């Protein structure tokens, strides 16, 4: 099933997943589980295309967004991938692989807002907030307000916010070498 969604999201450095987890659970977040995910990013001319292989989430994901530290709008297309290996084989013949990101991700929801507590191989620990509109009922301003509200609740400061995707950070570390802070 293909689906298009609009999101406003942030990514931030996080050194205290225990604190964030406690806040989320105190606010009745629905814990969906912990997923080991491998995201293969393909080098395409516009936007980003990645194949996510996990236990909970398996999708081909296309998205387009500006790289900026503050909450950013993304237009996302998702396609479920029951046979990830076949998808990877096909897309690897069409496009070069841009980056591979491996992570352990805790997934939580409060209504339409998705939270990730990520531990990314070679990069460290991060927090993501995604205010999601699945059906065109929420404006980008409402999604942005939700994102800001949860940033405040979770104590995410402007200086914690990241502009780049994990794929950009992985490529930076690979280019600059180990021990370099992406």
Can you give the pLDDT at residue 177? 60
Whether 2 shows a pLDDT value over 80: the answer reads no
Specify whether the CB–CB gap between 112 and 131 falls below 8 A.
yes
* Residues whose CB falls within 8 Å of the CB of residue 111, separated by 6 or more in sequence, listed in order: none
d(CA 122, CA 174): 10
Instruction: Name the residue range of residue 16's domain.
Output: 2-173
d(CA 182, CA 164): 9
How sure is the predictor about 88, in pLDDT bands with cuts at 50, 70 and 90?
A: very high
Residues 102 and 37 sit within 8 Å (Cβ to Cβ): yes
Q: Is residue 110 a part of any domain in this protein?
A: yes
In a domain, 169, yes or no: yes
Query: Is residue 179 situated within a structural domain?
Result: no
In a domain, 165, yes or no: yes
Q: Is residue 58 part of a domain?
A: yes
pTM of the predicted model, to two decimals?
0.90
State how many domains the chain has: 1
Q: What is the mean pLDDT of the chain?
A: 91
Yes or no: say if 166 and 123 are a contact pair by the CB < 8 Å rule. Answer: yes
In angstroms, the CA 125 to CA 107 distance is 14
Tell whether 135 is covered by a domain. yes
CATH of the domain at 39: 2.40.320.10
**Per-residue pLDDT tens digits for 102-129:** 999 999 999 999 999 999 999 999 999 9
Tokens of 81: 């991938």
> Could you report the per-residue pLDDT of 141-152, keeping only the tens digit for each?
999 999 999 999
**pLDDT tens-digit map of 8-64:** 999 999 999 999 999 999 999 999 999 999 999 999 999 999 999 999 999 999 998
């Amino acid at each position: 099933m293909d689906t298009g969604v609009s999101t406003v999201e942030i990514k931030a450095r996080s050194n205290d997943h225990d604190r964030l987890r406690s806040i989320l659970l105190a606010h009745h977040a629905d814990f969906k589980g912990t997923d080991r995910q491998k995201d293969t990013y393909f080098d395409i001319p516009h936007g980003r295309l990645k194949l996510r292989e996990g236990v909970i989430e398996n999708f081909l994901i296309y998205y387009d967004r500006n790289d900026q530290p503050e909450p950013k709008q993304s237009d996302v297309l998702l396609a479920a991938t029951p046979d990830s290996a076949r998808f990877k084989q096909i897309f690897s013949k069409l496009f070069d692989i841009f980056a591979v990101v491996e992570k352990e991700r805790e997934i939580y929801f409060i209504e339409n807002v998705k939270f990730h507590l990520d531990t990314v191989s070679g990069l460290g620990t991060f927090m993501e907030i995604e205010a999601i509109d699945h059906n065109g009922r929420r404006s980008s301003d409402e999604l942005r307000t939700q994102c800001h509200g949860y940033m405040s609740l979770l104590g995410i400061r402007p200086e914690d916010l990241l502009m780049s995707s994990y794929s950009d950070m992985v490529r930076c570390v690979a280019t600059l070498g180990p021990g370099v802070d992406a």
